[in-house]
Amino acid sequence: MQSDRFRRIIFVIVTCMVSLPWLTPCGVTAVPAIVIAGTDQGVRKVFGKRDPTKPTAAQLDSLSGRPSLTLVVRQDQVISRNLLISKAEWNQIILAKNRRVVHEAGMGAVEKAVDFLFRIDPSINMQGSKPSEPETEPRKDLVLSTAPFVLLQADRLSFAMDKSKKLPVLAEALTDTMMVNGTINTPDGIFFAAASRICYREGVSELILEGNPTVLSGRRQIKTAHPGALMKINFITRTVSVTGRAVETQL
């Protein structure tokens, strides 16, 4: 009985949250609309201000037709795995008063609510059908730097924002399906990075790549001889460092 009552309470609460924006005047719907927008888009601002962590159309347009960039490759370098962001570090940041953590992944707010209801009681049927199997998630974009312009793209992004800064101070990009992509656009040219995981820390101007790391500049491809090796990209000095041997090919 208690379980049935709990499910009914959850169903009513979620239904009210989903239905409220369509059942109340515009002045009242502002609050639930902001809540849903915040859930769907992390901490994206919804008061008409542009979110600096999201690329503008002009920034994306600037990536096309750019010349490749000459990179310096350093092999057999020592790259500490402590540069990768751990779960314990994320937990510490969550507790910090002047910082907030944003996770961008998964379904939207309404889809999550329906999926949650279906999981606690498969007999619940909203809109005539149960939640469908999740499709490939859309890629999320995250601007790490504007000079040079550095963009991360992945289906799972986590990043930390400091109250005094507009861009992330810490970021981690992961993927369940495709490779994580990094794009570095400098005044002299452009190059691209790909891996299963990419980590970033503000202040060092570096991307740490793990899991089949690859860099592409024009027709020049730089990979690690071992898929488990780490790669470090300094996008200021335009240096690619590799633990172990680097393999270069011309495509």
Q: Any idea what the CATH number is for the domain that residue 223 is in?
A: 2.60.450.10
For the cut 70, the answer to whether the pLDDT of residue 224 exceeds it is yes
Starting at the edge strand that comes first in sequence, how are the strands of the sheet with 246-250 ordered?
A: 140-146, 149-154, 180-186, 189-195, 214-217, 220-224, 246-250
Residue 217 banded pLDDT, cuts 50, 70, 90: very high
The label of the residue with tokens 């991360």 reads 152
Task: Give the residue with greater pLDDT, 97 vs 235.
Answer: 235
Average confidence (pLDDT) over 144-162: 94
State the amino acid at position 59 in one-letter form: Q
Distance CA 78, CA 55 (A): 33
Does an H or E element contain 190, and which?
strand 189-195
Q: How many CB atoms lie within 10 A of CB 207?
A: 28
Give the pLDDT score at 8. Answer: 55
Confidence of residue 168 (pLDDT cuts 50, 70, 90): very high
Q: Which two tokens stand for residue 160?
A: 């930390």
Average pLDDT over residues 197-208: 94
Measured distance CA(56)–CA(49) in Å, rounded: 12
Q: Give residue 91's pLDDT band: very low, low, confident or very high (50, 70, 90).
A: confident
Domain total of the chain: 1
Give CA–CA dist 108/37, Å, rounded. 9
| Position with higher pLDDT, 121 vs 63 | 63
Which residue from 210, 212, 209 is spatially nearest to 233, judged by alpha carbons? 209
pTM: 0.69
What value does the mean pLDDT take over residues 29-49?
39
Percent of the chain with pLDDT over 70: 67
Full domain range(s) for residue 99: 2-250
